[in-house]
Each structure stands twice: as structure tokens, then as C-alpha cells.
Amino acid sequence: MGTILDLARRDSAFIINAGGFETDITFTVGGNPVIVKGIATKHHIGYDDDGERVNTKNAQITVNESDLLAIGITTRGASGEVNITSNIISYADSTGNTSSYVITENYPNETFGHIVCMLGDYQV
């Protein structure tokens, strides 16, 4: 069976990979496209310094670190810290339109083993 933490890790991995909200996310590794399952979101609202709403693009993905390792992506540097910034990814939105992004920030959850990545526009 396992501990509650083991169950939570398994459940979070399932939600990201097969929970019904997952999408194919393509990473480019050595010039080759490889696909992992993950959760991808994009919306167009943010807030300025005064708390007023502004129209701005916010795109992010959540993937399991073990899935990235399985497809050959190095997730940690010599310091042992997660750093997958500058990787190029792409995914299709709700209309089927595929866009490419660069990972600008990564926020690992080392308790559950997944990584949230903030995305910026990537021009091919």
C-alpha cells in the first residue's frame, strides 16, 4: 500500500498524465521532438501594480520530472537544482492551434515530483 505521501505522489502523477485534463506537450531534445503528457494552460488576464486587470498572456505547463528524465531531458544541473529553462516546447490549444514557447521559469514541487513551467513566446 504505502504511506499517504506515496499515494499522493501516485495520484498527482495520474492527474497530470491521465486525469482527463492532460495534453500532449512536445519538447525538442537534440533537434528531435519528443512528447510527454502534462497539463497546459493559457489565459489572457493579469493584474498591474495597482491591482487593475490588464490583457496579458499567461501560459504555463505542469509535467512530471520522471517523464522528462524518461525522454532524455536533463532536469538538474551540477548543483542538484531543477533547471529546465530555455527548453522549447509546443502544444495545441482548445482550437487545435499549436504554439511554441520557451520555458522562462521553472518551479519544481519536489514533494510530488512535478515541475510547473512559466512560458514565454518563442519565434521559430
Reference 117, options 71, 70, 73, 64; nearest CA is 64
Look up cell 495545441; give the residue. Answer: 92
Contact between residue 63 and residue 71 where contact means Cβ atoms under 8 Å apart: no
pLDDT at 38: 97
pTM (whole model) above 0.85: yes
Contact between residue 37 and residue 12 where contact means Cβ atoms under 8 Å apart: no
Q: In order of start, what are the domains of the chain with their CATH numbers?
A: 4-121 (2.40.10)
Mean pLDDT by 10 residues, the chain (124 residues): 87 94 91 94 88 89 96 92 94 93 96 96 81
pLDDT at 1: 56
Q: How many C-beta atoms lie closer than 10 Å to residue 89's C-beta? A: 24
Distance between CA atoms of 41 and 94, rounded to whole angstroms? Answer: 10
Q: How many C-beta atoms lie closer than 10 Å to residue 64's C-beta? A: 21
pLDDT at 46: 82
Distance between CA atoms of 46 and 57, rounded to whole angstroms? Answer: 8
Distance between CA atoms of 43 and 57, rounded to whole angstroms? Answer: 6
Provide the grid cell at 110.
Answer: 519536489
Distance between CA atoms of 123 and 73, rounded to whole angstroms? Answer: 22
Provide the grid cell at 60.
Answer: 504555463
